[in-house]
Structure 1
Amino acid sequence: MSTTREQPDPRATLRGGLPDRYLTADDIATIFKVPKETVYQWRRKRTGPAGFRIGKHIRYDPADVRAYVTQRKNADQDAA
């Protein structure tokens, strides 16, 4: 009798607390617990995590989001 375990969907695997897939503006709003409009304002002002366009859709690379958080944390530590 084979005890084959189903492998989890690799797109659902978490690395560093973030999904292993490109993130949407909704995902960013949920992660940072801010309104979706805030995410769009960050993009217009170029103050939030770097995003990129796929057609008419905005996507965020989880590595860029992690880098943004690290940068913000380091900036706050330097200011203290």
Structure 2
Amino acid sequence: MSTAKLGLEPLIGVEELAEYLGVPVQTIYDWRLSGRAPRAYKLGKHLRFSLSDVEEWLERQHEAGSDE
């Protein structure tokens, strides 16, 4: 059953997030260690990111003055 049918937000893995952001997978792990990565869910040994958390995190990454 798909998450859409259940009314749940899709979650993506580290590889998908890295591909979306255009960075190496190791960068995601490095960002997590330094506290700069998007919030994640830890499911066993797997990390999953909600799309809304990634969107919020991206908004916070805007450079100062870039919304002019």
Superposed structure 1 runs of 4+ greater than 6 Å apart: none
Distance 1:50 1:30 in 2: 17
- Tell which structure's C-alpha radius of gyration is larger: 1
| Partner of residue 64, structure 1 | 53
Identity of counterpart residues, as a percentage?
A: 23
Per the normalisation by structure 2, the TM-score is: 0.77
Structural mapping, 1:1-80, within 5 Å = 21-73=10-62, 76-78=63-65
Distance 1:23 1:69 in 2: 15
Distance 2:40 2:65 in 1: 26
SS of aligned partner of 1:53? strand
1:28 aligned partner, one-letter code: L
Structure number with greater CO (CA < 8 Å, separation at least 6) is 2
1:36 aligned partner, one-letter code: V
Per the normalisation by structure 1, the TM-score is: 0.67
Q: Any unmatched runs of 5+ in structure 1? A: 1-8, 12-19
CA spacing shift, 1:54–1:10, aligned 2, 3 Å: closer
